[in-house]
Structure 1
Amino acid sequence: MRDLGVGFGYLVKGQRWVGAHGRWLGFGLLPGLVTLVLYAAALVGLLYGADDLTAWATPFADDWSSPWQGLFRGFLTVLFFALALFLAVITFTAVTLLVGQPFYESLSEAVDRSEGGDVPESGLPLWRELRVSARDSLRILVRVVLYGVLLFALGFIPVVGQTVVPVLGFCVSGFFLCEELTAVAMQRRGIELKQRLPLLRSRRLLTLGFGVPLTLAFLVPFVAVFLMPGAVAGATLMARELTGEGAEGGPLPGAPEAKRLNPPPPHPGSPPAPRRTGPAADVPREW
């Protein structure tokens, strides 16, 4: 149970870090605001059309007498919107990280630099970083959809569907939310998705202690936007522990060694390496 508190502690430390480095908060707000507007428009449209969608999907209930038709379709509408909200919470982080990739990667590097020691860098051009992030996010989304469909079906079970299933839903959301956030720091360390998932499962309570409170906070409008920069900072601190660089809970036995992905020094006389361009090049590395 100690790991639950440690995970939550990293979330708090991340918010404190951006609070002490205010400019990073400003940079981190922009991608979240853009994503929030897009998601809000989609959810509002879904809310207005949810009744018609439910009626279209249940033509067999057209001849049902009142109040059974209304209760049945109302229950399905609530479940459908809850599933959409569940998917929105999960994918919001992935989309925001994709939109703000250059900024969040630079923020994560700044957190590493403030902790001392080596600062791993991917050494990849921006377009390849975006491709890797999009590919991994798509793989996570497939897993989330499968869990979402399963939980949606379990929601029809009396009592269990209204008590246990929502708790499981928040745990699943918190786990994958934590994965998306720690991916920013772990990708720079050469730790791929197939390594990250077992690593997070081996410290499940630590992962849930970080991800579940953040998932609950993300349900409040606008909160996700303001917490994202600190969430990335806290996830970087937690990634340092998971890879054996931190001291909070000690290194994880069998944790993959963090790879420094900086390209080796060029040989004398060799042409200089191409300089990365794009938005990330304009973001200061530290303040």
Structure 2
Amino acid sequence: MRDLAGGFGYLLAGQRWVLRHGRWLGFGLLPGLVSLVLYAGALIGLGYGADDLTAWATPFADDWSSPWLGLFRGFLTALVFCLGLFLAVITFTAVTLLVGQPFYESLSEQVDRTEGGEVPESGLTLAQELWISARDSLRILGRVLLFGILLFALGFVPVIGQTVVPVLGFCVSGFFLAQELTSVALMRRRVQLTEQLALLRRRRMLALGFGVPLVLSFLVPLVAVFLMPGAVAGATLMVRDLVGDDAEQADEQEQGQSQDQGQTQAQTQGQSQGGRPQGQAQAAGKRLSA
């Protein structure tokens, strides 16, 4: 529970940071506005075409009597739209980060700069950063699609499909949303995608506390656009602590291993030193008895 509250605390801290630095709030709104227009058009098109899609996909139900035909296809239409909305929430951040890579990169650097300490730089060109961002986003999208198909299938299970599945959907969305946002700061620290996922899995509740409230707020039109700059700032603040904690744990493990090795060497030396006189005494005893 403390990690859940901590993740939400980073989200609030990021929003406070951009409010204190108003210029960066306006700077970070531009990519979100562009993405919002694209996604709004796509969702409107899906809303108008979802019923035609379900009718095309279920020709076997054409001869069903009323009201079963309407209920069945209406349920499928709602599921298709929910799946589209689920994918939109997940991919919105990835597309917005891709569109606004230079904007959010600068914002994340400014957060590191104002918070003190080292300001990491990836050393990559803009083209390389865009390529890595697009490649990683596609890899994440593949994972999300697998979860989405599984949750879509579980949606047909009575009771579970209407209670447990939506909760799992929000958790999956929140985790991968947190990954997308932290990737801006982690990529500058040259942390690869597999390491990013491993880092967040170790602090899964922290990632959910950060990502799930964002997913819920992103369901409200226009909110995603205004929260994105603060979300990037909050993700950077979270990364600063996560990477610092990992470094401290690694140092402690190395120190513990070195101490264990030192103790093992000392015991080995003690045994070897203690064994030599005993062996010599036994040899002397044998010569006297002879």
**Could you state the TM-score of these two structures normalised by the residue count of structure 2?**
0.85
1:160 matched to 2:160: yes
- Structure 2 matches for 1:1-287, cutoff 5 A? 1-244=1-244, 253-254=249-250
Deviation digits for residues 71-119 of structure 1 (CA, Å, limit 9, x no counterpart): 0000000001000000000000000000000010000000001111110
Deviation readout 1:199-251 (Å, 9 max, x if unpaired)? 10110110000000000000000000000000000000001111016xxxx96
Aligned residue identity for 2:218: F
Change (3 A) 1:154 1:119: same
Give deviations 1:9-38, integer Å, cap 9, x for gaps. Answer: 000000000000001111111100000000
What's the secondary structure of 1:244's corresponding residue? helix
Change (3 A) 1:252 1:204: farther
Structure 1 unmatched runs, 5+: 256-287
Q: Which amino acid aligns with 1:229?
A: P
In 2: Cα distance, 1:253 partner to 1:167 partner: 33
Cα pair distance change 1:25/1:133, threshold 3 Å: same
1:167 to 1:188, Cα distance in 2 relative to 1, 3 A: same
Once residues 36 and 157 of structure 2 are traced to their aligned partners in structure 1, the CA distance between those partners, rounded to angstroms, is: 33
Q: What is the rounded CA distance, in whole Å, between the counterparts of 1:98 and 1:110 in structure 2?
A: 19
Q: Distance in 2 between matches of 1:118 and 1:15?
A: 22
1:58 partner letter? T
1:53 maps to a residue whose letter is L
> What secondary structure does 1:150 align onto?
helix
Q: Which runs of 5+ in 2 are unaligned?
A: 252-290
| 1:121 aligned counterpart, secondary structure | coil
For 2:230 and 2:44, locate their aligned partners in 1 and report how far apart those are by CA, in whole Å.
27
Show the counterpart of 1:279. Answer: none
Deviation for aligned residue 1:252: 7.0
Contact 1:241 1:251 (C-alpha < 8 Å) held by counterparts:
no
Aligned alpha-carbon RMSD (Å): 1.2
How far the C-alpha of 1:123 sits from its partner, in A, is: 1.3
Contact 1:241 1:252 in 2 (8 A): no
- Runs ≥4 residues deviating over 3 A: 250-255
| Deviation per residue, 1:167-194 (Å, 9 max, x gap) | 0000000000000000000000010001
Structure showing greater Rg? 2
**Would the alpha carbon gap of residues 151 and 161 (structure 1) be closer, same or farther in structure 2, given more than 3 Å must change?**
same
Match of 1:264 in 2: none
Alignment match, 1:276: none
Contact 1:174 1:208 in 2 (8 A): yes
In 2, Cα distance between equivalents of 1:186 and 1:49: 39
Give the TM-score normalised by the residue count of structure 1.
0.86
Q: Could you tell me which amino acid in structure 1 is paired with residue 249 of structure 2? A: P
Counterpart position of 1:263: none
Aligned to 2:257: none
SS at match of 2:49: helix
Q: 1:254 to 1:217 in 2, by over 3 A?
A: farther
Q: Which amino acid aligns with 1:193?
A: L
**Count of matched residue pairs:** 251
Distance 1:231 1:167 in 2: 22
CA distance in structure 1 between the partners assigned to 2:249 and 2:155 by the alignment: 38
Query: What is the identity percentage for the equivalent residue pairs of Structure 1 and Structure 2?
Result: 77
Secondary structure of the residue aligned to 1:253 is helix
